[in-house]
Each structure stands twice: as C-alpha cells, then as structure tokens.
Amino acid sequence: MWVRFPPSAPNYMPSTKKQIEKLLGKAGVKINGPEFFDMQVFNENLYSCILSSGSLGLGESYMSGWWDVPKLDQFFYKVLSANLDKEFSFSPGIILAYLKSLIFNLQSIHRAFIVGKKHYDIGNDLYELMLGKTLAYSCGYWDKANNLDDAQKAKFDLICRKIKLKKGDNILDIGCGWGGFLKFVAENYGAKGVGITVSKEQVEFAKEFCKNLPIEIKMGDYRTISGKFDYIISVGMFEHVGLKNCRTFMLKTKELLKDNGLLLLHTIGANESSLISDPWLNKYIFPNGKLPSIAQISKSVEGLFVVEDLHNFGVSYDKTLMAWFENFDKNWPILKNKYSEKFYRIWKYYLLSCAGAFRARKIQLWQFVLSKNGEVGGYKSVR
C-alpha cells in the first residue's frame, strides 16, 4: 500500500480516537465496522489529523492510504447528512483561507488561468474516457435519460429550449470546455457561436471537435470578450468566477447580450453564503473556486437582469458523478500508464465525495434564465 505521512500530522492519542468515534456515531458510521459505509482505518494518526485539519486532513489522509471505505460516496452521504462538516468550521486552514479571500481577488484576470493549467489541462485522454461522447464536464439532465451520454444531450437540448434558440442565432458560450455544447447547437439547431475557455488543452481539442462548423473557439477570460450575441450561456464556469467578481461577470454579460436576448447560467451552488471553499477541493482539484449561494447570485444580478426562471436539478449531479467515476474506474488500466496511484485516490475521493454531497443535498445545481428587460408577456418555464 502506498503511504505518505502528512508532515503536520500529530502523533496518535487514544482520546482523539474516541472523539472521532463519537462524531462518526452521529452519522451511524463505525470505525472498522462491517457496513459498506464504515471507515476502515490503517493508521491511527488519522484521528489527530482530522481534528487538527478538518476536511483537508481527512482528504490528505485518504490520499496517503491511512483509511478507506468500501462505498466512499455513501460514507460522505451519511457524514454530510448528519452535518458533521460543521464540526470543523474553524480549523487553522479555514481561517487562513478566509483571510486570503478578504484581502485578495483570487480570481483576477491574471489568476483566472491557474485552474486551466492545474485542472483542465491535465490530459484530454482522461476527460475523453471519463466524460463520454459529449465531453460535457457538468451535470447531465437525467429526467428521462438512462445513461450519461443521453443525460448530457438532454441537458444540451434543455438549454436550447430554455433560451428559445433558432437557426442562425449567434450564441456565446463562456467556459465552453471541449466544445460539446457548441457542436450540438450547430448540428441540431443550425446556430453559430463563440466559445471561450481558460484551458489550452480544451482550445486545441474543441477546435478539432467543432471543425467545419460555424463555431469559433478562443482562449481567454470572460472580461476580455467583445461583441453582441443573441444568447449567452455559461455552464459549470460560474464556480470559478469568485465572489469579488460576480457583479463584474453580470455587468459584462449584460454588455455582450442583445436587448431581447437571454442569459442562461448553469452553476453549482451552496445552501449557505460563505467566503471560502472546501480546503481540500481548493488545494487538489479546483484552485480558487467558490460555490455561490442564491443570496450571492441574487446580489450580483440585482438591477441588471430579471430572473425569469430558476431550476434546481442537483439530484442529477449525483448520477452524473457516479457515471463519471464508473468510467474513470473502468478505464484506469489504460490511464494508470500515465497517471499515478496517488492521482487515482485523489480523483476517486473527489468524484465520490461530491456525489455524496449532492445526494445529501448539501450542494445544488441551478439553472437561471435571465433577461435584460423582462420577457414581454412573461417567460414560460421549460423542463
């Protein structure tokens, strides 16, 4: 077993084990218990690590092989449903992150490309095998779908129907990823469009993916875009905007949108307003990311847009993440020739912990439809 000791891990003390046992007991989880959601502990320094570092210590100790669970997604579902995450609100790492968020704009134009390099550029081979044919790295719409590809196509079509897309319309996709949505609208709706991303690898792939279609793919930050568009969509990108820039995002999209156009914003959201993200996810998966709350989004929209529609289908993200993990796990024999065992544990932890969080309804998936001046006669919701 691959084991790495976090340098800050305190020595094991029996009293710390009792504290963790008591906490887990609130969720019905046992240490070294027989159930598929019970934590199996291989290094008892784990307990002090969790108590001192909270979610960061929990994740890093998992990376180190100090513990495991047969069904990691269900472990997180039970732990988060019992609100155990609130037991570690004031760890040193969280306090430091809070201060940084107050002082710095962690998602400035110059810092916007960090997540592209550290997350989206790690390898198109990984994403092709994990995400399926659509290359959509956002929540699918499983209302009538039975598999990942159908759920993602249903999500694409849902967006098109919500904005009432027509042949010849010009659409801007902020955070276009590998170009899957723009390819869909060009082939199925006869629309044309521009996609922008902060990922070099996504640009190269999307240009080839959308070859011979009326689609233009650009690398850049949303704050640098110019032009006018019939519709603007942003799917799974607003989580990278940051609270200091939410208003800027809304001002920019209003500038780019034609007067009778619509903005569709698809974003993961938090149930409560806060200034910081989960320390482990911030360090290992999405640097400088931040999930907004309804209140924070509403504040950024106020006076700029009319909220025509709000649709929550966060339960679909549980299914989407489980499908991604199934693909990732199934294709690991191919991927392990390039990626390490540590990488496998990081991504397993990431995908399954997030699935558990959506299952516990701790985080949501929202689609907003916004208009500049209000739809004449009212907007008819589409599902």
- Same domain, yes or no, for 48 and 163? no
**First and final C-alpha spacing in the chain:** 48
Position 324 in a domain = no
- Same domain, yes or no, for 294 and 170? yes
Active site residues: 354
Q: How many Å apart are CA 112 and CA 289, to the nearest integer?
A: 10
Q: How many Å apart are CA 227 and CA 233, to the nearest integer?
A: 15
Which pTM was predicted?
0.93
- Same domain, yes or no, for 237 and 281? yes
What is residue 131's predicted lDDT score, i.e. its pLDDT?
98
Nearest to 56 by CA among 24, 9, 102, 118: 9
Q: What string of DSSP letters covers 232-268?
A: EEEES-GGGT-GGGHHHHHHHHHHHEEEEEEEEEEEE
What is residue 91's predicted lDDT score, i.e. its pLDDT?
59
CATH code of the domain containing 150? 3.40.50.150
- Same domain, yes or no, for 240 and 311? yes
What is residue 247's predicted lDDT score, i.e. its pLDDT?
98
What is residue 4's predicted lDDT score, i.e. its pLDDT?
45
Taking the chain (383 residues) in consecutive chunks of 10 residues, what is each chunk's mean pLDDT? Answer: 45 81 97 98 95 92 97 98 82 62 77 96 98 98 97 98 98 98 98 98 98 98 97 98 97 98 98 92 96 98 98 98 98 97 98 98 98 96 97
Position 121 in a domain = yes
* Number of domains comprising the chain: 2
Chain segment 148-194, per-residue pLDDT in tens: 999 999 999 999 999 999 999 999 999 999 999 999 999 999 999 99
Give the domain-ending residue among 32, 54, 89: 89
- Same domain, yes or no, for 250 and 189? yes
- Same domain, yes or no, for 80 and 131? no
Q: Residue 53's domain spans which residues? A: 14-89
Give the domain-ending residue among 30, 55, 89: 89
What is residue 105's predicted lDDT score, i.e. its pLDDT?
79
97's tokens: 């992150």
Q: Report in angstroms the alpha-carbon separations of 40 from 99, 148, 262, 294.
A: 35, 31, 50, 37
What is residue 86's predicted lDDT score, i.e. its pLDDT?
85
What is residue 3's predicted lDDT score, i.e. its pLDDT?
41
What is residue 7's predicted lDDT score, i.e. its pLDDT?
43
What is residue 95's predicted lDDT score, i.e. its pLDDT?
63
Chain segment 238-274, per-residue pLDDT in tens: 999 999 999 999 999 999 999 999 999 999 999 999 9
What is residue 2's predicted lDDT score, i.e. its pLDDT?
41
What is residue 1's predicted lDDT score, i.e. its pLDDT?
36
